[in-house]
Amino acid sequence: MNPSLNELIIKALSQQEEAGFAAGTIANSKKVYNRLLSFAAETGESELSDELTQAFISNSTNSKTGEYCHSRFCLHNQAVARLKKVKETGTVNWSSINHIRHKNELPSGALFQQYLESYLAFLNSTGKRKNTIDSYRNVAAKFLIFSEINGVQQIKNIPQSLIPLFFQELSHSWSATSIRTSAAALRSLLRFFEASESTIRIIPRRCPRKTDITQSLTEPQKEQLWEYLKCADMPTRDKAIVMLMLFAGLRPSDVINLKLEDIKWMNNTICLIQQKTGKPLTLPMAPVIGNAIKDYVCNYRPIVTHRNVFLKSVAPYTPLSDHAACHAIIKNALHQACIDTEGGERGGRLLRRSAATGFLRAGVRMSDISAAMGHSKQETTEIYLSNDEDAMRRCVLPLPRTTKAGCVI
């Protein structure tokens, strides 16, 4: 006899308490489970079924606005995954269900699915970073579905007229700057399937590049945050994370993946492989950063087998899962320091840009800043020039003088 939905929920909550989760986390789980019980009662279900779980996951709209709510979608996904584990195995492996990603689109036909699989195997063999592979896979899947709908049989011989139509289709939901990425991905896909160069040349090359003026903390705001970090009774882990991004300019992805062996205490350096580029990066470790990390590692970090420097503060003591954890820590620090970013950035990018801007204002050479920030091209670093107001003022040209007749002198 299958256990009832209520029995599965009681067992899942009991195991969550035994695993040492915080009371607030368990309370949130109870809210989601109560939402599931109410939903099941409305549909006349008393057991966990595929129909019930799919309908519950799809019911991810905000009750106040009526709009899709991604956080609710994730919470529903997690709750369903836990209950399924309890039903199938009797226990929950908490680490394996922290993040459940929505499955990407797939072509419907076996031939086009095989096309996608072979292209993915090729991408993995090239050693590209995971983010790049995910991005290229997304574009490839969309293009293959588009080709399938339009009756294409062989990607190698795709009609050239479909290329602009595909980008026209993307433009309805993608920004102009996102089209730039899709163009590079499609070029890679068609070359893999040996399409003609005349077909590949139809793919746009001069796509817009995003060149917004970047936001960073002002010097008074940086001083305000620094005073808060020195005096506030904030968790040592959070203090070290904020300092790494504010003074060293590390990306959030590199902070959460920083290993104990990456910190070279004898040399006062941090040596790591960048998550975004896959390239090695060596940075000097300022005393304030080293002292903050030492305080956390020696006095507060849980004793576990994980090699990541920064761990979750509640059981199970696993590594921080993604950059969202850094964002929450930074957002809280800015709030506690009474720093108002006027509705702009409040995460890792803000601190990283502030670090680069600080280097510029201190007169550090652009090539050195580019190396410290882990940029593969110096042009990427030049966007931070817009934050150095003094340097920008020196670049202003005087207005031309004119005569009464309006002629330029």
10-residue mean pLDDT series, the chain (409 residues): 87 85 82 89 86 81 67 80 87 56 65 89 84 88 89 88 88 75 91 92 76 75 91 90 93 93 94 87 93 95 94 90 84 90 77 86 82 78 67 64 58
Burial readout 138-177 (b: 16 or more C-beta within 10 A, e: otherwise): ebbbbbbbbbbeeebeebeebeeebbeebbeebeeebeee
Burial readout 314-353 (b: 16 or more C-beta within 10 A, e: otherwise): eebeebbeebebbbebbeebbeebebeeeeebbbbbbbbb
Instruction: Give residue 70's pLDDT.
Output: 66
* Measured distance CA(96)–CA(61) in Å, rounded: 26
| Common-topology check for domains 110-200 and 219-393 | no
- Map tokens 């702009």 to a residue: 344
Superfamily for domain range 219-393: Intergrase catalytic core (1.10.443.10)
- Map tokens 């036909």 to a residue: 109
Strand (E) or helix (H) holding 284: strand 280-284
| One-letter amino acid for residue 242 of the chain | V
Could you count the other beta carbons within 10 Å of the beta carbon of residue 388?
18
| One-letter amino acid for residue 190 of the chain | L
Could you count the other beta carbons within 10 Å of the beta carbon of residue 248?
20
Instruction: Give residue 380's pLDDT.
Output: 72
Instruction: Give residue 205's pLDDT.
Output: 79
What's the sign of the alpha-carbon dihedral 202, 205, 210, 211? negative
Instruction: Give residue 101's pLDDT.
Output: 40
Domain boundaries, the chain: 5-97, 110-200, 219-393
Specify whether the CB–CB gap between 83 and 89 falls below 8 A: no
Q: Domain 110-200 is of which CATH architecture?
A: Orthogonal Bundle (1.10)
| One-letter amino acid for residue 173 of the chain | S
Could you count the other beta carbons within 10 Å of the beta carbon of residue 39?
15
What is the reported pTM?
0.58
Q: What share of the chain is helix, strand, coil (3-state, %, to 5)?
A: 55, 5, 40
Express each pLDDT in 329-356 by its tens digit: 998 999 999 998 776 677 888 898 888 8
